[in-house]
Amino acid sequence: MQTLLTALVSQIVKRGDLTLRFADGGQQKFGDGTGEPIIARFTDARGPLDLLRDPELAFGELYMDGRLVMDEGAIFDLIKIVLSNPVRGEPPRLLSVLRWARDIATFTFLRNERSRARANVAHHYDLDGRIYGLFLDRDRQYSCAYFERPDMDLDEAQLAKKRHIAAKLLVDPAHRVLDIGSGWGGLALYLAHYCGANVTGVTLSEEQLAMANMRAQNAACADRVQFRLQDYRDMQGAFDRVVSVGMFEHVGPAHFETYFRRIAQLLTEDGVALVHTIGRPDGPGATNPWISKYIFPGGYIPSLSEISTAIEKTGLFITDIEVLRMHYAETLKAWRERFMARRDEARALYDERFCRMWEFYLSICELTFRVEGECVYQVQVARRHDIVPITRSYIAEREARLRVRDAGELAPAQAAAGE
């Protein structure tokens, strides 16, 4: 098995300095010797076979189970050297076959019906809430931040993200806003407090709902915001604005048209919606199997072509698209560094295996954005093509006004959410 694995890795790693050590004491070097040396070691003889059987799934499993350990460098460095070596020509046949099979399975079996959608959400978002307090910003924004300046810290960039979204939505006082996938309530509270909107947030996470309700009760805008445990497909009413941040990734391709058709039904005639989602740069595909099994079951990252095709079938107009490049890489870097700095606290809440799983998750996600070009799409849609200004200057103008209003949001005296 060592010989077969060596042949596979040799096809992939052409640059860098990677050494694999095996349980029998043997080792093999890969790359051209440039850069910092990275040394990974299999702790049992079966590890190479398991990696060969399903590299994309077993890579993370071996690390989280302690069967692949880092003797020099971190797992981040090992993932980086693999992803930074693009395979020239046809990829190894094993990877091609596995990816083809997963593409077929994605569109055949990935159906997030109501009961399954709730179970999928609970798997990730109903963890002990203290875990998220270890690495998120004060407001618990669990989505891509917006780095207006390179020197912004995570809290500033997450506030800038909320401000950017509010400006694009053209939210005015007394607007009725629906927040689909409202998380711990930070965006809804921002829109209610700083924009004067009446906001309804819906989530499928009981843990997130409990904290959002607690925050709403203690907020000065408590009379203008409410949160519900509800599937977006069951929502009724009419809303001037609809926003969804980091939720579309959980919808699944079988439901894309349903999702946008529901937004169209919920929007008033002059309504505007904004969908903020991670996006693929290279067309439809399949979710990484390790991420799907351990982190986001039922998750699927859409391509821009899939998003636009679904919108075209619902009568909505696409009025603006922005591509946020590298912003999520920087967000995930901040999350990873903050988590690693408080790793001992995470281990006390769960165990060492959880910490290795979470480190792998944050590392591979950051590098997918940083190296492979994954991005975030902010897609603005409306029922009328003339309801949004025809130039984008209104975004900066509204951001400037909001910046004056939320200037005290990050005051040191403010208690961090969930701390």
Residue-by-residue DSSP string for 282-338:
SSS----HHIIIII-TT--PPBHHHHHHHHHTTTPEEEEEEEE-SHHHHHHHHHHHH
Which element (helix H / strand E) includes 7? helix 2-12
What's the pLDDT at 414? 42
Please list the active-site residues.
365
CB atoms within 10 A of CB 249: 18
What's the pLDDT at 327? 98
What's the pLDDT at 95? 53
Mean pLDDT, each 10-residue run in order, the chain (419 residues): 89 95 96 96 96 94 98 98 74 52 51 68 86 97 97 98 98 96 98 97 96 94 95 96 97 95 98 98 91 94 97 97 98 98 98 98 98 97 97 98 95 48
Domain ranges of the chain: 2-89, 114-405
What's the pLDDT at 118? 72
Residue 266's nearest CA partner among 179, 157, 345 is: 179
CA dihedral 157, 362, 135, 417 (to 10 degrees): 70
What's the pLDDT at 99? 53
Query: What CATH number belongs to 114-405?
Result: 3.40.50.150
What's the pLDDT at 417? 44
> Distance between terminal CA atoms of the chain?
48
Measured CA distances, 124 to 76, 157, 218, 249, 308 (Å): 22, 24, 26, 13, 28
